[in-house]
Amino acid sequence: MIPANTLPRVLHGASGRPLTLEQHEEAFAMTARPGTVMDQLEASGLTGRGGAAFPTYRKAALIRSQRSHHKYMVVNAMEGEPAAHKDQTLLSSNPHLVLDGAEFLASIIGAKNIAICVARDNPMVVHHVERAIHERDRRSQRGAKLELHAPPWRYVAGEESALVHWLDDNESLPQYRPGRPHIMRIGNGPVLVDNAETCANVGLIGRFGAEWFRGLGTQESPGSTLVSLSGAVNRPTVLEVPLGTSLRSILSAGGADLDPQAILTGGYGGLWLSGDHLDTPYTNQALGPIGATVGAGILVVIPKEACGLVETQRIARWMANESARQCGPCAFGLPAIAEDLSQLTHGSRNLPAVYERLVERCGVIEGRGACRHPDGVTRMVKSALKVFEHDIENHLRAAPCAGSRSSQHWVPMPALEPEDEMVWE
């Protein structure tokens, strides 16, 4: 049994090669625990590690309550965030722990099918999962059927409604959901979607119980979490840390700049925080009062010599290009925001008017999209207007900013893909 105060947990046994099923079962030997897995899941307080932080027990209970003979468990390992590497790290070290959790959840809700979704653009991870499924198939044990699916890699393709839409209709487009919790379906069958890290934690809770799980973290945010750290760091890395660890400690453990200008929290649809907040605990409860969340477990560190406005413009441009273009805010609003930011950073005429137009557009777009993609972009941009106020003042005066002395970029950014080459199915 792994001691409750020992890290790593979900990355236990990681050695650069994925554990075989035999190695996995030796490393994670089942221990006796009272009650059912559902009881342990409720007592654990586990919340989703994919971004929304919804209680995992409540999601499972909702699908369990549905009367249907065709329920589905979906593991979301799409990892559409370019700055995220935790799914890849987890599935490249121990895919079986993720499959354990998926099987526990399938049993809880009564699902006969488990779909593990990995972007086809990541053939290495696809291979690791395929091999792990094959190992389990050879055991000939009863239970839900494991199936690997490889949708196209797009930012919005990893959004859970887009993923379910692809499984149901072979098209990776987000669906309108007026409120949550919302029951998604494949055919007429209700679907439970959890990301890979959440499933790995369910696998741990199913083996070691809720009390063990709560041996790390805080009362309100128990357990550990994976963090993808990049930007002004020695090298991009994935860390496993107890929830409640300070941002400063996370940056220190990852070899990051400990006197940064700002940190992007939660990913490209997240929020910029100034470097004054490094002593904030890494939990939603602590980050909430300053407007941030743990989100998808992404931290991008920006040094003082960078221009935060330029980095924001790069993100906004890429996010506009990655939208599904199903509604006005995505099709027209996000490109317009990206263009306003471009004009601010490149010194076009009448910059005060451009700035006012940008602020107005952010207010008009927010809350009006068919999905939450435009909300994430506008939230990130609005936080940049506060955190990088000094850079913006310099741009408005056509004066040099910190980043004018360097051509280096800090936010990981894939190349923009021409619209006519984008794959959605």
- Cα separation of 165 and 150, whole Å? 13
Strand order across the beta sheet in which 237-242 lies: 237-242, 224-231, 298-302, 262-265, 271-274
Cβ neighbours of residue 91 under 8 Å, at least 6 residues apart? 18, 77, 98, 118, 125, 128, 129, 196
Q: May I ask the CATH class of domain 308-406? A: mainly alpha
CB 49 within 8 A of CB 218: no
In which residue ranges of the chain is CATH 3.40.50.11540 found? Answer: 21-213
Q: What are the angstrom distances between the C-alpha of 296 and each of 68, 80, 183, 342, 390?
A: 31, 10, 22, 27, 28
Q: What are the angstrom distances between the C-alpha of 354 and each of 288, 334, 399?
A: 30, 15, 16
Q: What are the angstrom distances between the C-alpha of 335 and each of 87, 380, 420?
A: 29, 15, 16
CB 216 within 8 A of CB 109: no
pTM passes above 0.75: yes
Cβ neighbours of residue 151 under 8 Å, at least 6 residues apart? 78, 117, 119, 120, 157, 163, 166, 172
Report the C-alpha dihedral over residues 60, 62, 65, 69, rounded to 10 degrees.
-70
CB 215 within 8 A of CB 242: no
- Cα separation of 174 and 161, whole Å? 5
- Cα separation of 295 and 272, whole Å? 12
In which residue ranges of the chain is CATH 3.10.20.600 found? Answer: 224-302
- 224-302 adopts what CATH topology? Ubiquitin-like (UB roll) (3.10.20)
Residue 419: what pLDDT? 60
CA dihedral sign of residues 273, 279, 282, 283 = negative
Closest listed residue to residue 48, CA positions, set 174, 190, 223, 165: 223
Q: Which two tokens stand for residue 16?
A: 């650069």
Query: Measured in Å, how far apart are the chain's first and last C-alpha atoms?
Result: 44
CATH numeric code, 21-213: 3.40.50.11540
Rounded to 5 degrees, what are φ and ψ at 113? Answer: -130, 135
Q: Which two tokens stand for residue 85?
A: 């590497």
Q: From first to last of the 425 residues of the chain, give the pLDDT tens digit.
A: 444 567 889 998 877 789 999 999 988 887 766 678 999 999 999 998 987 788 999 999 999 999 988 999 999 999 988 999 999 999 999 999 999 999 999 999 999 999 999 999 999 999 999 999 999 987 756 789 999 999 988 888 888 888 998 999 888 777 766 665 678 899 999 999 999 999 999 999 999 999 999 999 999 999 999 999 999 999 999 999 999 999 999 999 999 999 999 999 999 999 999 999 999 999 999 999 999 999 899 999 999 999 999 999 999 999 999 887 778 888 899 999 999 999 988 876 788 899 999 999 999 888 777 677 889 999 999 999 999 998 888 888 877 776 666 678 899 988 776 665 566 56
Residue 350: what pLDDT? 83
